[in-house]
Amino acid sequence: MKAVLPALARPLVEPHLPAGLDIVWFATPEEARVAVADADIAWLDHNNPQVWAENVAAATRLQWLSTIYAGLDVLDTGLLRERGTRVTNGSGVNAHTVAEYAVMGALVAAKRFDQVVRAADRQEWPTDAPGKLELFESKALVIGYGTIGRLIGARLQGFGVEVTGVTRSGAEGTVGPDAWRALLPETDWVFLAAPSTDASRAMIGAEELAAMKPSAWIINVGRGELIDQDALIEACTKRRIAGAFLDTVTPEPLPPEHPLWTTPNVIHSMHLSGRSQTRMFLRAAALFVENINAFVEGRPLKNEVDLVAGY
C-alpha cells in the first residue's frame, strides 16, 4: 500500500506508522503530483488551494485522502465519490484558535478597537471611546454549531451573552435551518462558522441583512461564500447594519481594488484565525497517525467527511 506524505510531517509521524507501507515523502507540490498518481493514501495539503485541488485530482487510485483543512469546497467531491475515495478532514485541529478569534472579532467590533489602534498610530488621545457596545446581556446567533461553533458559544456565554446555535438538523439545544432567520430582528451578533455548501452559499443576503438590527454585527470565521458580499457592501455603506468582522472573504486573497477593502465598518483579518497558534500541525499529525493505523486495521476513521453533504 503506497502512501504519499509531506516531508514536513516526517519527524512527527514516521515513528508511529504501521509496518508494510511504501511511503513517499514529498517536499514540493510537483513531487507530490508525480508520486500520487498510483497512491492508496495521501496527505497533500498545500497553502495554495488550487495546487491542492490539482494534486488531489491527479490521485486517480486514492482510497483515503487526509487533510488538515476543515472545508473541502475547492475539491471536486463528485469526482472523489466516483473514485470511491474516503476523506478525513482537520475539523478540531484549529477549533480553539478560530473560536478565540471569533470572540476577539466581536470585542474589536463592540469597542471599535480598530479605531483605537489607528488613533494610537496617529498619536492621538481621544476624549471618548469609539465603541460603546457591551457583550453582556446581548444575543448571538452562531450559525454552524459544530466543533468551532460550540466553542464560540461557550466563550460567549462567559461574557454573559445569550447564545442560540444553528444546526442543519435542529439538534437539541439548537434551531434548524428554517428557524434562525426569524431570530435576526432580535439578534446583536451573527457568527458564521458553517461550511460552504450548496445550501449555505449566500445564506446571508439582502433579505437577511434587511431583517437585522441596525446595531447588529456579522462575524464570519466560516467561508466568504456564506455572505452575498455585494449585499453586505450595500448594507454597510447605507448603515443598515453596524458592520462586519470578516476573517474570510471571496476571493482570497482579496484583490487590492475590491470595494470590500474600503466599505465602511468592515474589519478584515485576512483568514489568519486558524494560523494564530503554534499547535495546529502537532494536532494534525497526531490525528493522521490515529487515522492511518485505523485505516490499515479496518477500523472507523476519525473526522470522515460526508462527501454528499460536503463536511
Domain residue spans in the chain?
2-91+278-297, 95-275
- Per-residue confidence (pLDDT) for residue 70, from 0 to 100: 84
User: Exposed, middle or buried by CB within 10 Å (0-12, 13-18, 19+), for 300?
Assistant: exposed
242-295 pLDDT, tens digit each: 999 999 999 999 999 999 999 999 999 999 999 999 999 999 999 999 999 999
299-310 pLDDT, tens digit each: 999 999 999 887
176-207 pLDDT, tens digit each: 999 999 999 999 999 999 998 888 999 999 99
User: Exposed, middle or buried by CB within 10 Å (0-12, 13-18, 19+), for 196?
Assistant: buried
- Per-residue confidence (pLDDT) for residue 59, from 0 to 100: 97
Q: How far is CA 101 from the centre of its chain?
A: 11
CATH number among 3.40.50.300, 3.20.20.70, 3.30.365.10, 3.40.50.720, domain 2-91+278-297: 3.40.50.720
Confidence of residue 71 (pLDDT cuts 50, 70, 90): confident
- Per-residue confidence (pLDDT) for residue 295, from 0 to 100: 98
Residue 303 in contact with residue 292, Cβ under 8 Å? no
Residue 144 in contact with residue 195, Cβ under 8 Å? yes
112-139 pLDDT, tens digit each: 999 999 999 999 999 999 999 999 999 9
H helix or E strand, kind and range, residue 20: none
Residue 281 in contact with residue 287, Cβ under 8 Å? no
In three-state secondary structure terms, 2 is strand
5-21 average pLDDT score: 97
3-state secondary structure 26-93: ECCHHHHHHHHHHCCEEECCCCCHHHHHHHHHCCCCCCEEECCCCCCCCCCHHHHHHHCCEEECCCCC
74-86 pLDDT, tens digit each: 999 999 999 999 9
Confidence of residue 228 (pLDDT cuts 50, 70, 90): very high
- Per-residue confidence (pLDDT) for residue 265, from 0 to 100: 98
Instruction: Count CA atoms within 13 Å of residue 252 on its CB side.
Output: 17
- Per-residue confidence (pLDDT) for residue 226, from 0 to 100: 98
Cα torsion angle, 261, 264, 266, 268, sign: positive
85-100 pLDDT, tens digit each: 999 999 899 999 999 9
Pairing of strands 189-192, 139-143: parallel
CATH of domain 95-275: 3.40.50.720
pTM over 0.85: yes
The pLDDT of residue 73 is above 90: no
The pLDDT of residue 311 is above 90: no
135-178 pLDDT, tens digit each: 999 999 999 999 999 999 999 999 999 999 999 999 999 999 99
- Per-residue confidence (pLDDT) for residue 1, from 0 to 100: 96
Left if phi > 0, otherwise alpha if psi is -120 to 50, otherwise beta: which for 100? alpha
- Per-residue confidence (pLDDT) for residue 309, from 0 to 100: 82
- Check if 2-91+278-297 and 95-275 are the same fold: yes
User: Exposed, middle or buried by CB within 10 Å (0-12, 13-18, 19+), for 264?
Assistant: exposed
